[in-house]
Structure 1
Amino acid sequence: MEIAAGALRENLVISSSSREIFRPGTALITNSGVEIKLTMFCEPCKRIFPVARDLGSMINRRGILGSIETGGIILVGDTISLHPGRYAALPKSAHQKFLDFVPTIPAGKVVRYLDVTIAIGVADSFVRAIPGFIKRSVGYDIPLHRIVNAQGKLLTYIPNQAEKLSDEGVQVEVKTGLSGSTLGAVDLASHLWQG
């Protein structure tokens, strides 16, 4: 891609002639025992624009994100073995990623729409889709009440959100609006989770 190593603040760059096995679910294991689980592909996006010479040449070229499963020290020149299918791949559907993420939000904490988009690995512009995901998921047994808007305000389409948050120790400030409706908000400085 002609991007200088380190320009994307990546943690690791691996050279291999077997690109086809760099897929979600594959494990990378170094000769020192460090294990990295490949989680999902990332598309060229605006985050690489400052360092890429030609975004057009990057169409259909992807990086891949991973998470450390077993820590340790990785040195330049270490050998890495690839173990395809060692882990279940993350879902490709953004809605399924949303459904998988919401249960990981700890009790007593909240996230904003933008935090959700970052966690599920979609573009920031996806914040507009999050309300739809929430509305489609109200019948699921997941803690949707832990999602608030960018200002920490509660969402009108989440049943009993204030009560559920209060039960978890989140202080909800309730105000009466001009129309007589009640509006709730949480203090993001105290309760925001950016896991």
Structure 2
Amino acid sequence: MKLVFATNNAHKLEEVQAIIGDKFNIKSLADIGCSDDIPETGVTFEENAKQKTDYLFHKYGLDCFGDDSGLEIDALNGEPGVYSARYSGSRDMEKNIDLVLSKLGDHPERTARFRTVISLFLNEQQYFFDGVIEGKITHERRGSGGFGYDPIFIPESYDRTFAEMTPEEKNQISHRAIAVGKLAAFLKGGG
């Protein structure tokens, strides 16, 4: 089965393909010749994920899925949330991480979670799958793997950040792995 993943983020594409395996042929936006900047104007992860699949289905008529993910920090009232990718006003993740660490300072409450919502448009029906992993924010960057906020997020019951884990370790437990696992189970069950 061919599905278009509404992303050109190579890291996300690799993670999803690794989780789903080779039973499904996952194509990126570039693979279908889409270089459009798909709007993400929603105020929830669900709205943003839905915008992506609605856009792709209506423009290309293809079965597709899209996700929106973000980091929610309790001491920052859920920020950066849906603005995670551009929290500092740019898509520069170093600046985004700096802003998070600066805003948190020495605050003792560092609980946070990564959340992913996937919207699937299949056979003209829309479905949603979510994944959440609880954890906490470090005081400084740790590790060189992963991407995004991985160097400052330690998942619950672990003592290493996502950036200190191998991709295989992260893909066993991450928010995206949980949501993609639900998506894969749905697809393997015949949709």
TM over 0.5: no
User: TM-score scaled by structure 1?
Assistant: 0.26
Larger radius of gyration: 1
Structure 1 or 2: larger strand share? 2
TM-score normalised per structure 2: 0.26
Q: Which has the higher helix share?
A: 2
